[in-house]
Structure 1
Amino acid sequence: MTTNDDVASENSPQMTANLEKIEALSERLIKAVSGKSSTNPALSGPDRELFSNALNSYWHEMMQNPAKMFEHQAAYWGKSVKHYVEAQQVLSKGKLEAPSDAFTTDKRFSNPLWNTHPYFNFVKQQYLINAEAIAQAVDDVEDLDSTEKQRLKYFSQQIIDMMAPTNFLGTNPDALEKAVQTEGQSLLDGLENLVADLEANNGELIVKLADEKAFQLGENIATTPGKVIYRNKMMELIQYSPTTETVHETPLIMFPPWINKFYILDLKKQNSMIKWITEQGYTLFVVSWINPDESYADVGLEGYIEEGYLAAIREVKEITGVKQVNCIGYCIAGTTLSLTLSLLKKRGDKSIKSATFFTALTDFSNQGEFTPFLQNDFIDGIEAEVNEKGMLRSFIMARTFSFLRSNDLVYTPAIKSYMMGEAPPAFDLLYWNGDGANLPGKMAVQYLRGLCQSNEFADGGFTLMGETLNLKDVDVPLCSIACETDHIAAWKTCYRGVQQMGSTSKTFIVTQSGHIAGIVNPPSKNKYGHYTNDDLKLDADAWLEQAEFTQGSWWPRWESWLKKRSGKQVPARLPGDSTHPELCDAPGTYVMINSKV
């Protein structure tokens, strides 16, 4: 009988070191997981009623039409048995080769071994047979309403994606090959990555998507020169330095979403929209929102409007000496810009000369891919969460967005980091994506209940700040940019909202690509084109069918539209004035506040 010391003495120095490292990592892993902060369980999945209703519907269908159910079951059994027999026949002939693969290409199975090795080919094909059977079973459920059916499809697909053989070491040839090639070092590195991610997020497993050490705000991203010239509890107001001798008289205020940080529009010099706008001769102000903590629990949408939008408009008018400003609102900030425009209409205030909306939803009658998360069980869970924590923590929103594209944003990064032992890439966009922000409790519930669930702004009126706000009150000249493959703010839904706005001067542009890449699309890249059509009375499908396609960025087209609404040329304005001293350099201090799990 040998002792552990005897075994260790027979191992190589590298093996001994690795064993010691595993022991240390295991201790850290246990400590990190034991420190996990609590999260309302309702936010981790649908209530049991959804699956109970689906099961009841399935059994009801089986009783009513047993032949159909048996047909589907027999087809599944037949495919599985046939698959097994074919594999056995090949092996019985002494051939270590896979049977012919009848399935289409899936990038998860790009390793040649999935097609050439009998074991991996068998695992892959059986997984795809199982996935097809689950999807068919969901399609066969007929007694659920459309919303429940959509949710059932979504959560069933999550199960299918989670059970992919690529997600497990023993059935992932890429991970196994690398483990052999590196003598197990890749697995140790992967365990180190796993433990580090858990420790960084208080026990919550959030896959790190980018190398955080590769970026420093103000040094290699968010570097456009400017100054913070105003600050309150909700935001810092940045005025960017001019790059032209003259500028348009009417200043431009950009309101980014407060779910993430503003520097998505100022990543690198090559793709910085902020830099590009200053180069076109505009006095540009950008709001950088606070990353709220629990002390902001009682801040609602009215707080963002009063101390964000209205405060920024007031200060910019004072600094520049003008009566009107142009505004941009991106995503949720575009939704809130619409609310602000309705409020100003009620008050007879004409401070906003024109409005630009980036991927902004204003009519929520079709909840799109967010339908699974906008039902009462999830929203009830969010209310319970914010009542306890005072805020909706950023990782909860990030997790929700990620699972809308789980293979790309959850499983593939996890495989590379935890099974392959790879370091996350130095990718600025992914760095920004991981730099989320919390939402104040009151604001989150107002938005989810009043706007997303009840659609009050477009249907009947949204009560806020003593007024009933309506979408039809948005009557300033406007330009709305939506993205063709946007899964967060579907372009057809953005279009429907614009159709209901009261303005007589509307421009609508659909750019190729998604929620971020479609907006951050500089002319120099000549990558994505865009669609335009002046007839906004058409339904969305007809609008796109009859639209004119232009290759290249939409930025110059929008700037041409903005130029007509920006007045004469005046001498370029330096940041601040005697009553607005420079508080600090851009990108400011609020953007540096990180979220904590």
Structure 2
Amino acid sequence: MAEQSGADTKSIDPAELSKAMTSIAERSQRIVADFLTRQASDPKFGSADPLNIGNAFMEMTAKLMSDPAKVVEANLNLWQDYMTLWQNAARRMMGETPEPVVKPDAADRRFKDEMWEENEIFDFIKQSYLLSARWMQGVVKDVEGLDDHTAKKVDFYTRQFVDAMAPTNFVATNPEVLRATVETRGENLLKGLNNLLDDLERGKGNLAIKMTDYDAFKVGDNIAVTPGKVVYQNDLIQLLQYTPSTEQVFEKPLLIVPPWINKFYILDLRPKNSFIKWAVDQGHTVFVISWVNPDESLANKGFDSYLKDGTLAALDAIEKATGQKQVDAIGYCLGGTLLACTLAYLAAKKQERIASATFFTTMTDFREPGELGVFIDEEQLSALEEKMAETGYLDGRDMATTFNMMRANDLIWSFVVNNYLLGKDPFPFDLLYWNSDSTRMPAAMHSFYLRKMYQENQLIVPGGIELDGVKIDLSTIKTPIYMLSTREDHIAPWTSTYAMTQNVSGPIKFVLSASGHIAGVVNPPAAGKYCYWTNTKKPKNPDAWLAGATEVPGSWWTDWQAWVEKFAGAKIAARVPGSGKLKAIEDAPGSYVKNRLT
């Protein structure tokens, strides 16, 4: 038996191990040296707290100390919980099966390994962490006297700390990692260290966590493959027209305005989940704006540039290509915010160029922006503007980090465990490839957007913002609207997006999809997943809307198609891209979308 065990156990070649460790040491020294050189050349390094976290926690601590009785009560409760946990641990050692003092949330995948339940030690570690996390978050939430923004900031960054300190993130307290370490004789940690160094090298000293196999995907090859042509371009957009798949199409073309925070192909990942392909198959002549990935040369492009050179330029180009003055339009997230501005702009100009408008997860009232509001205050905006002034843009990776922090366990720590502790390569996943394909933000546009909309909430004020000489007033919008929000959206909370139902003058249908900002939108009918809610009434309170809503199984896509057909016009012969007054420039998905940050 001993001989068989020895034969099955993989041994480590000392020479290979020495070679690997030497390589790791050399790479580590080079990365650290490069990082320190860059920081030494930055006079602001180490001199500031750009997120203003320190002041928020100092204010929280001062308020907390002013009510010592509440602190004592919280500590006593924690002590009592720990005493019960100690007693339960002893009872388990004696063979009993007491009820746990605390359980992880059913959706918490960190503790899915069976050892967290079956082993007394790991069960104790798990419950100790959960008790401490609950105590810490409860204490900061109960502090009285903090303004709302500071309270939210303290709560957010406390959760970041709590998530970071989870026992699953450390070798010695993660049973799955320990098991892998024993089985591979530590090769998982060696591979994980190499993965860590790869990510540091790719991030040039900053940790750029690899979330998927980047070599498994190529834009235009196995994602964003719906056939079509680029029929127009300027320095801000390429306009894609897709090849019809039906003999007849609706008279009015369909224009999709995606966000420029991310790339448009979230709506064209694979044929099986491509909204663009599905819309083409329903008989729409689909046009999509593909935004440029801006560099310092476009630093002065403002929000009105995205209006003039984006949506308005696209409308003009579509009219030339098809002869149609009116389109049905879709705006997604920030693209929807721009679409709302475009509708108000056209209303002021008394131009009826959009027959119907559809909004995906779109904010127009930023009074309650969700967790993104944590990053919006004068100190942080000033620091961000100073940073953008140096480069002319906001690096897309900074924006990606912000979004990842909002779901840290799923988008940060799960990969730390998988890539660095277990030493595994990330799984090929088209959605995570898209998520990592970051875009920059021009300095002028991004500053305007954050200040005028997030910080000052001026879009909701009639005439509060001015674009290309026109004061924007959402209440003048009479265009029929289909508004889709998602129930678990952490970027555009549905209870906030719902406000648009009260701020436009035309008919509006509000639909709420299950799941989140992406999965709730990219949900093809064939998948048979999730559900959505509808309600013919639109009370002021979103919770009242949901209370009276009807749940419908499956995808909202078919509901939208039935709605948009009312405005799409008669059926005509299918249009071939490039056959009109606008000739084809290149094949879809075009060159702008292929500009990937290195």
- What is the TM-score of this pair, normalised by structure 2? 0.92
Rounded to whole Å, the distance in 1 between the matches of 2:403 and 2:561 is 31
Shift of 1:347: 1.7
Query: What is the letter of the counterpart of residue 543 of structure 1?
Result: W
Residue 308 of structure 1 aligns to which amino acid in structure 2? G
Taking the aligned partners of 2:85 and 2:546, their CA distance within structure 1 comes to: 44
1:85 deviates by 6.7
How far residue 422 of structure 1 moved from its aligned partner, in angstroms, is 0.9
Match of 2:556 among 534, 554, 561: 554
- Structure 2 residue 500 is the aligned partner of structure 1 residue 497: yes
Post-superposition offset of 1:501: 1.2
Structure 2 SS opposite 1:236: strand
Task: Report deviation, 1:450.
Answer: 0.1
1:45-95 superposed Cα distances (whole Å, 9 cap, x missing partner)? 433211111111011112xxx3x432322333344456457657877x8x9
Instruction: Return closer, same or farther for 1:43/1:221 CA change in 2, 3 Å cut-off.
Output: farther
Task: Specify whether residues 265 and 86 from structure 1 end up closer, same or farther in structure 2 by C-alpha distance, changes over 3 A only.
Answer: closer
Q: Deviation string for 1:499-528 (max 9, x for gaps)?
A: 20122x211111111111111111111212
Is 1:31 aligned with 2:37?
no
Aligned to 1:54: 60
Please tell me the residue identity of whatever aligns with 2:25. Answer: S
Q: Is the 8 A contact 2:373 2:454 kept in 1?
A: no
AA of the residue aligned to 1:477: P
Asked whether the 8 Å contact 1:222–1:267 carries over to 2, the reply is yes
Report the equivalent of 1:109.
111
| Residue matched to 2:362 | 360
Secondary structure in 2 aligned to 1:286? Answer: strand
Q: Does 1:244 align with 2:250?
A: no
Letter in 2 for 1:332: L
User: Partner of 1:549: helix, strand, or coil?
Assistant: strand
In structure 2, what is the Cα distance between the partners aligned to 1:349 and 1:462? 20
TM alignment of 1:337-348, pairs within 5 A = 337-348=339-350
State how far apart, in whole Å, the 1-side matches of 2:89 and 2:103 are: 19
Match of 1:291 in 2: 293
Hey, what does 1:433 align to over in structure 2? 435
Quote the residue 2:135 is aligned against: 133
SS of match in other structure, 1:238: strand
Query: Shift of the alpha carbon at 1:416?
Result: 0.4
Distance 2:129 2:554 in 1: 41
Q: Distance in 1 between matches of 2:508 and 2:73?
A: 54
The equivalent of 2:13 in structure 1 is 14
CA distance in 1, matches of 2:339, 2:34: 40
TM-score (normalizing by structure 1): 0.92
- AA at the equivalent of 2:524: P
Alignment of 1:112-191 (within 5 A): 112-191=114-193
When the two structures are aligned, how many residues end up with a matched partner? Answer: 578
Partner of 1:486: 489
Cα distance in 1 between the residues matched to 2:477 and 2:22: 62
Question: Tell me, what secondary structure is at the counterpart of 2:208?
Answer: coil
1:201 corresponds in structure 2 to 203
2:475 counterpart residue number: 472
Deviation at 1:167, TM superposition (A): 1.0
2:3 equivalent in structure 1 = none
Match of 1:402 in 2: 404
Q: 1:269 aligns with which of 244, 266, 271?
A: 271
Q: Deviations over 1:342-391 (max 9, x none)?
A: 11112222222221111111011112222211222222221121112211
Q: How far, CA to CA, are the matches of 1:267 and 1:591 in structure 2? A: 13
Q: Please state whether the residue corresponding to 1:35 is helix, strand or coil.
A: helix
CA displacement at 1:265 relative to structure 2 = 0.6
Q: State the one-letter code of the partner of 2:57.
A: F
Aligned residue identity for 2:229: K
Tell me how far apart the structure 2 counterparts of residues 114 and 244 of structure 1 sit (CA, whole Å). 55
Looking at structure 2, the residues matched to 34 and 536 of structure 1 have their Cα atoms a distance apart, in angstroms, of 60
AA partner of residue 278 (structure 1): V
What is the identity, as a one-letter code, of the residue corresponding to 1:361?
M
Bigger Cα displacement from structure 2, 13-22 vs 206-215: 13-22
- With over 3 angstroms needed to count, the CA separation of the structure-2 counterparts of 1:23 and 1:87, relative to structure 1, is farther
The percent of aligned pairs where both chains have the same amino acid is 39
Structure 2 CA distance for partners of 1:283 and 1:43, relative to 1, 3 Å: farther
The one-letter amino acid of 1:24's match is S
Task: Quote how far apart the aligned CAs of 1:44 are.
Answer: 6.7
> Structure 2, unaligned stretches of length 5 or more?
1-9
| 3-state SS in 1 of match to 2:262 | coil
Counterparts of 1:436-447 in structure 2 under 5 Å? 436-447=438-449
Distance 1:498 1:75 in 2: 45
2:320–2:580: 8 Å Cα contact kept in structure 1? no
Tell whether the 8 Å contact from 1:356 to 1:478 is kept in structure 2 after alignment.
yes
- Shift of the 248–371 alpha-carbon distance from structure 1 to 2, 3 Å rule, reads same
Deviation larger for 245-254 or 129-138: 129-138
Shift of 1:544: 1.1
Q: Is the 8 A contact 2:50 2:379 kept in 1?
A: no
Counterparts of 1:98 and 1:22, CA distance in 2: 46
Query: How big is the alpha-carbon RMSD for the aligned residues of Structure 1 and Structure 2?
Result: 2.2
Deviation at residue 579 of structure 1 after TM alignment: 4.2
Greater CA deviation, 393-402 or 379-388?
A: 379-388
Aligned to 2:7: none
Distance in 2 (alpha carbons) for counterparts of 1:35 and 1:88: 52
1:541 shift after superposition: 1.1
Residues 550 and 82 of structure 1: is their aligned pair in 2 closer, same or farther, counting only changes over 3 Å?
Answer: closer
Moved more, 222-231 or 131-140: 131-140
